[in-house]
Amino acid sequence: QEVTTTLGQTAFLHCRVRYLADRRVLWMRQRDLHILTSGLHTYTNDWRISAVHEGVWSEWTLRIRSTEARDAGLYECQVSTEPKISKIYRLHVV
């Protein structure tokens, strides 16, 4: 999934998960394998990054405010199943 945002704007990476049950949705940054969020909990000191959960369709969105050039790259939406289910997003900042 390709996502493009403008420098300084807010980027939204939308991950739709159905039938989540008791599992968690994690957002991970691929360049350093840093877990950014788990559910609605944030695991980074970067105030610009948060997770948003919306609606019946279980859409888990990674929100990156005030995007910078260094935010460009790969992000992974991952569901805590065995084996894991995931989707990779490439963020472009222009």
% the chain with pLDDT above 70? 96
**What is the pTM (predicted TM-score) of this model?**
0.90
Please report the pLDDT score of residue 57 as a whole number.
63
Among 39, 80, 79, 82, smallest CA distance to 61 is for: 39
Average pLDDT over residues 54-80: 90
Indicate the pLDDT class of residue 56, thresholds 50, 70 and 90: low
Q: pLDDT per residue over 79-94, tens digit each?
A: 988 788 899 999 999 9
Task: Sketch out the chain's domains with CATH numbers.
Answer: 2-93 (2.60.40.10)
